[in-house]
Amino acid sequence: MKVRYMLGVILLTPVLVWVGSSGFADGPPTAKPATPPLTPADQKPALKSYEVPCRITGTKHVMVRAKLNGKGPYNFIVDSGAPAVFLTTAVCKEVGVTPDDKHWGTFDKFEIEGGPVLTGTKARVEDMFQLNGMNGLGLAGVKLQGVLGYALLAKYRVEFDFSRDTMTWTELGYEPKPFKAFGGGRDENLEMVGQFAKGLGKLLGKGVPEVKGRGFLGIELRDGEDGVEVKGILADSPAAKAGIKTDDRITHVQGKRVRSAAEVLRQIGELPGGETAKLTVLRGAASRDLSIQLGEGL
């Protein structure tokens, strides 16, 4: 009996598979038509990414630079905990923007170094006690002039890799909801903390040190089979002015053999802006020795 039952199930199962909607064995179901491919008009454009130079300050903040209305660059902390972009009153005055009665200013051109160029950017104009304190005691190692907060950062996917001197910003096509703007009132007690730190810094002989930016070539590199290859060149950069071309290979920096893109960037970064870097470049089989005056990076 047990054997007959098992055979019955085995024989019946294939029959059940082909029973159609009418209840009869009318063959397999009709295949659904394939989804038509997207037309060029339906396809979303590729997201644009930027390699934004950055550095870690003495207070372990991530710092980037930006030009405002063509002036600068100015130093900004990247902090998604801040609700908006913040900027000191001195910089606002320097770039010719007059804030409204609630201390908000609108900047025609907000150009993040290596990144997007924004228009009509709103920023809260005030002297934050946190920046006053860090600047007064020279804690960051550079003069900080503002904060890039959530209202700007939320438009991008920001990737941090603290082993590199750049971070990747990728456009998301997302516009964050406007937050309820805070009013013009100021906390005098907190402002006093910042002023006290500035005074203490002067008393201790501390303050914002003069910092020379790292050397800047303006090239994008890749590790190729035959050495370090030039992948891209920024327009009007020191590398472009020196005649470096895409697909050139860099073999030596300051007379030292280099075997990776990271090694080239590290050696250039150890030179201050304005100094002359000596590169040996291969183009095809021809070798050239170039002397390039470096720009000033972060």
Q: pLDDT exceeding 90 applies to what percent of the chain? A: 38
Scan for tokens 């810094």, then name that residue.
Answer: 201
Q: How do strand 117-118 and strand 71-78 relate by DSSP bridges?
A: unpaired
Query: pLDDT confidence of 109, banded at 50, 70, 90?
Result: very high
Give the per-residue pLDDT at 201. Answer: 46
pTM above 0.75, yes or no: no
**10: three-class secondary structure by DSSP:** helix
Residues in the chain: 298
Q: Which residues contact 66 (CB under 8 A, 6 or more apart)?
A: 72, 73, 74, 76, 110, 111, 112, 113, 146, 148
Distances (CA, A) of 110 to 66, 74, 113: 7, 11, 10
Give the per-residue pLDDT at 210. Answer: 55
Give the per-residue pLDDT at 270. Answer: 82
pLDDT tens digits for range 140-153: 888 899 999 999 99
Query: pLDDT confidence of 180, banded at 50, 70, 90?
Result: low
130: pLDDT strictly greater than 60: yes
**How far from each other are the two terminal CA atoms of the chain, in whole angstroms?**
85
* Superfamily of domain covering 215-296: PDZ domain (2.30.42.10)
Q: Is residue 250 a contact partner of residue 279, using CB atoms and an 8 Å limit?
A: yes
Question: What is the spatial distance between Cα 277 and Cα 255, in angstroms, rounded to a whole number?
Answer: 10
Residues of the chain with CATH 2.40.70.10: 50-172+188-203
Give the per-residue pLDDT at 34. Answer: 53
Residues of the chain with CATH 2.30.42.10: 215-296
Among 3.40.190.10, 2.60.120.380, 2.40.70.10, 3.30.390.30, name the CATH number for the domain at 50-172+188-203: 2.40.70.10
82: pLDDT strictly greater than 60: yes
> What's the burial of 73, exposed, middle or buried (CB within 10 Å: 0-12/13-18/19+)?
middle
The mean pLDDT of 222-246, rounded to a whole number, is 88
**251: three-class secondary structure by DSSP:** strand
pLDDT tens digits for range 246-272: 999 999 999 999 999 888 888 887 888
113: pLDDT strictly greater than 60: yes
